[in-house]
Structure 1
Amino acid sequence: MLSPAYFIMIGFYATLLMYVGSGPAWNETTRINSLNCRENWIFNLLYVNNYFNVERICVMQSWYLAADMQLFLLAPLVLYPLWRWPTAGKLLTAGVLILSVVPPMATIFFKQYPGIYLLSSREDKIAEYMQYVYIPTHNRISAYLIGLILSFVLDQIRHREIALSRVSKLHQVNQVRYEFL
């Protein structure tokens, strides 16, 4: 389980991080991280830090843990219908996949962001892009959903014997010959 180690890391950032190093920018950067963790630790523990106080996030890379946990908790809403009612589940999953493209598209369109993450942009624009496009879970659902669909399909065909076409069989035989030589 990742959560206990994650919670210890948040505690470390909030309390001891400032005292374990030194350097010209150490106090400036670690003080901000430590302060952010002291003020926003509860959002991290609840795995919602990618939606609340994102501009003052505790442990910068933790937004991904929050998004992943949220998607993990939502996965049964897709997988159970696929398992229990395959036809309706496939329709539901296709509908959710199509709809999952709308939030990032709308955010990018209405806020007039570039379609891709550009490091050459101004720093304030990068921070804004991260907060509204890159970090929120609802903008990441489509990729996660494709992974769920693939895992479901692979599970369904795991015990089936798959018949290969004559062309595929010939290609496999030729591959084996080349590898043997």
Structure 2
Amino acid sequence: MLFIGFLVAWGPHIAPDKADYLKPCLTNWWHNALYINNFDIDLCYGVTWYLAADMQFYCIAPFFLLAIHYAKKVGFCAIIAGILYSICSTIFLIAFYDLPAISMIIDQSRNDEYFYAVHIKPWT
């Protein structure tokens, strides 16, 4: 159903700027099918990065749940380690790219850099 909107917008009367949005869909369609499109800069449809991150968390959640079920201390340690890894990776990426900690105070010229480096990654 996602691709129907792009097919409706395809034709001789399509605006030239709309054709640029369709190019990643034609070349990177398999990123969306495998739910790994949040690792690439060329997003086919902008909001699908969230679906990819959600599916990635859905795939790793059973490991944490099984760890909690069979060994509570190990499971909770794994969750704490995941939280600490997320915090540390966000701090590292913000420091590495010299970005502000809050995305609301970033200037517009670096907004895309913040979005692709920090915001859409599942580990941040």
Structure 2 residue corresponding to 1:16, chosen from 8, 11, 36? 8
Tell me which amino acid in the other structure corresponds to 1:112: D
Q: Over aligned residue pairs, what C-alpha RMSD do you find? A: 2.1
Q: Which runs of 4+ in 1 moved over 4 A?
A: none
TM-score by length of 1: 0.62
Q: 1:42 to 1:64 in 2, by over 3 A?
A: same
Contact kept, 8 Å, 1:50 with 1:136, in 2: the verdict is: yes
CA distance in 2, matches of 1:57, 1:95: 30
1:29, CA displacement in angstroms? 3.2
What's the counterpart of residue 45 of structure 1? 33
* Matching residue's letter, 2:64: V
Q: Output the CA distance in 1 between the equivalents of 2:105 and 2:47.
A: 17
User: Please, what TM-score do these two structures have when normalized by structure 2?
Assistant: 0.87
Deviations 1:125-145 (A, max 9, x none): 111111101111111xxxxxx
C-alpha contact 2:25 2:44 (8 A) present in aligned 1: yes
Structure 1 counterpart of 2:2, one-letter code = M
Task: Report the structure number with the largest CA radius of gyration.
Answer: 1
Amino acid paired to 1:27: A
Question: What is the Cα deviation at residue 76 of structure 1?
Answer: 1.2
Q: How does 1:58-77 map to 2 (within 5 A)?
A: 58-77=44-63
* Contact 2:64-2:79 at 8 Å conserved across structures: yes
* Residue 81 of structure 1, CA deviation: 0.4
Q: Quick one: which of 58, 79, 82 aligns to 1:96? A: 82
Cα distance in 2 for partners of 1:98, 1:132 equals 18
Task: Choose from 10, 19, 23 the match for 1:35.
Answer: 23
What are structure 1's unaligned runs of at least 5 residues? 1-7, 140-181
Fraction of identical pairs, as percent: 24
**3-state SS of the aligned residue for 2:10?**
helix
State the distance in 2 between where 1:114 and 1:86 align. Answer: 37
Report the equivalent of 2:123. Answer: 138
| 1:81 counterpart SS class | helix
Q: Which amino acid aligns with 1:133?
A: V
CA displacement at 1:57 relative to structure 2: 0.9
In the alignment of these two chains, the number of paired residues is 124
Q: Which amino acid is the alignment partner of residue 108 of structure 1?
A: I
Greater relative contact order (Cα 8 A, min sep 6): structure 1 or 2?
A: 2
Contact 1:10-1:58 within 8 A present in 2 as well: no
Gaps of 5+ in 2: none
